[in-house]
Amino acid sequence: MRSVGHFIGGRTVAGTSGREADVFRPATGEVQARVALASADEVRAAIANAAEAQPAWGATNPQRRARVMMRFVDLLNDHMDELAAMLSSEHGKTVPDAKGDVQRGLEVAEFAIGIPHLLKGEYTEGAGPGIDVYSMRQPLGVVAGITPFNFPAMIPMWKFCPAIACGNAYVLKPSERDPSVPVRLAELMLEAGAPPGILNVVQGDKEAVDVLLTDPRVAAVGFVGSSDIASYVYSTAAAHGKRAQCFGGAKNHMIVMPDADMEMAANALVGAGYGSAGERCMAISVAVPVGETAADALMERLVPKVEALRIGPSDDPDADFGPLVTRAAVDKVRRYVDVGVEEGAELVVDGRDFRLQGYEDGFYLGACLFDRVRPDMTIYKEEIFGPVLSVVRAADYDEAVRLPSTHEYGNGVAIFTRDGDTARDFTARVDTGMVGVNVPIPVPIAYHTFGGWKRSGFGDLNQHGPDSVRFFTKTKTVTSRWPGGVKEGADFAMPVMR
């Protein structure tokens, strides 16, 4: 059986803890590999390697660091098919979707190529007599990231590309469910010219994470995953004096106004609701048509589209979506559907008994669609993270704004309308971090920033874009005076500019 180990100090290293976990092929349900789970000592070894490599890397001029990112982008493009096949086999998402996963990470590497410009500081000439003031951005040192199963290429790259471009060394703890792609990315980063120790990957679980959260050599921690763990990582890292940005779960609503193009809205809902089997943090899981007429018109188009969705193994080019990540995930999502029925929601499309011929042991679940879901129901309040879409019929626009704004999650939201005033009012008032106008999955492009609000995001800086440079650097401000302005003698008053 294949084993997946760590990547420390520029080489792959087998695990020594004696602890391992299964890595499945969700399409067939078989165990395809075993992944090592790091001991505290193995994580400390990765941190030590990073700490040793970082000072020289941080002192390398930013243009040379940018060239490493340029070569990394080229290598990602050269290896796109290989990475997508590897990703899809461990995660279960279709191959085109897996390429999107790599591509959205690659775009952040492209953003990081601009690091010489992004790191330019601020300068004030003549702030006082002979006095100049300037600020510079310096790397933090060793930084760490803990990432989820659902984007095993994109989210690690969102984190380590800007971090490394800023001059830091990185320790990544990816999800133990799809651990191979992160190691391959680290190999490619080495091939691109990053020195050994600048990007390390430790496989593992809570034991590994806890070392990253408490070791004094780690200056900052980034996390993406479920909200309870995001909150734990944020508070533990902060209690140990680290900078932290932690992103959690989601319940993304899509408002459908009566004037929306209903065909466009229905197409957007099936893609954003069921793509990647609903295992995206920006998946739409709640549709909110406004008014009964709009709701009926939407349902009329939506139901046949959901019934026609094609589910297939990850390498089926015609599949709309593939299996879920584990059998436990299928069981959990199916339980939510049972609860929805028990609590009185109308299950209009029931995918619970779906079986894929020839793949009976794969982790499949058919698409499920609920109508007349109420805000007090469990399936509305909690994140399901599967191919389940809930329709909540809102009486009017105010209720449609209130629903996502008062939900405990605040990741993304979308509105479909032809009316500019409504769209403008909605984007200003709604209480979520990312908004789409006639765009169902409003994941911001690489040079803007990504981040949810409320229980979807802990910390005050977002991922990628300008915020990532702020997060991965500390600002030093220098006030200097050269002889022309120096006056004789000591001055005991607080210096002020007159």
Could you list the residues that contact ligand NAD (CB under 6 A)? 146-151, 173, 175-176, 205-206, 209, 224-226, 229, 247-250, 281, 383, 385, 411, 452, 456
The burial class, CB within 10 Å (0-12 / 13-18 / 19+), for 350 is middle
Query: From residue 84, how far is each of 77, 194, 324, 325, 339 by CA, in Å?
Result: 11, 23, 17, 16, 35
Cβ-based nearer residue to ligand NAD, 247 or 397: 247
Unique residue bearing structure tokens 């220098």: 478
Q: What is the CA radius of gyration of the chain?
A: 25
| Long-range pairs for 399-403: beta carbons < 8 A, 24 or more residues apart | 399/290, 400/255, 400/257, 400/288, 400/290, 401/255, 401/426, 401/429, 401/430, 403/253, 403/286, 403/288, 403/375
Q: Give the distance from CA 5 to its chain's centroid.
A: 23
d(CA 200, CA 42): 11
**Nearest-approach distance from CB 149 to ligand NAD, in angstroms:** 4
**Nearest-approach distance from CB 385 to ligand NAD, in angstroms:** 5
Structure tokens at 237: 């890292």
Quick check: is 281 catalytic? yes
**Nearest-approach distance from CB 195 to ligand NAD, in angstroms:** 25
- Secondary structure (DSSP) of 58-115: HHS-HHHHHHHHHHHHHHHHHTHHHHHHHHHHHH---HHHHHHHHHHHHHHHHHHTTH
User: Active-site residue among 161, 246, 281, 368?
Assistant: 281
Cβ-based nearer residue to ligand NAD, 221 or 367: 221
CB 446 within 8 A of CB 111: yes
**Nearest-approach distance from CB 64 to ligand NAD, in angstroms:** 31
Helix (H) or strand (E) holding 349: strand 346-349
Q: Coil, strand, or helix at residue 313?
A: coil
Cβ-based nearer residue to ligand NAD, 178 or 371: 178
**Nearest-approach distance from CB 105 to ligand NAD, in angstroms:** 12
What's 278's DSSP letter?
G
**Nearest-approach distance from CB 472 to ligand NAD, in angstroms:** 17
Cβ-based nearer residue to ligand NAD, 88 or 422: 88
Cβ-based nearer residue to ligand NAD, 208 or 299: 208
Structure tokens at 131: 């006095």
Cβ-based nearer residue to ligand NAD, 146 or 333: 146
Measured from each CB, the residue nearest to ligand NAD is 225
What positions carry a catalytic annotation? 281
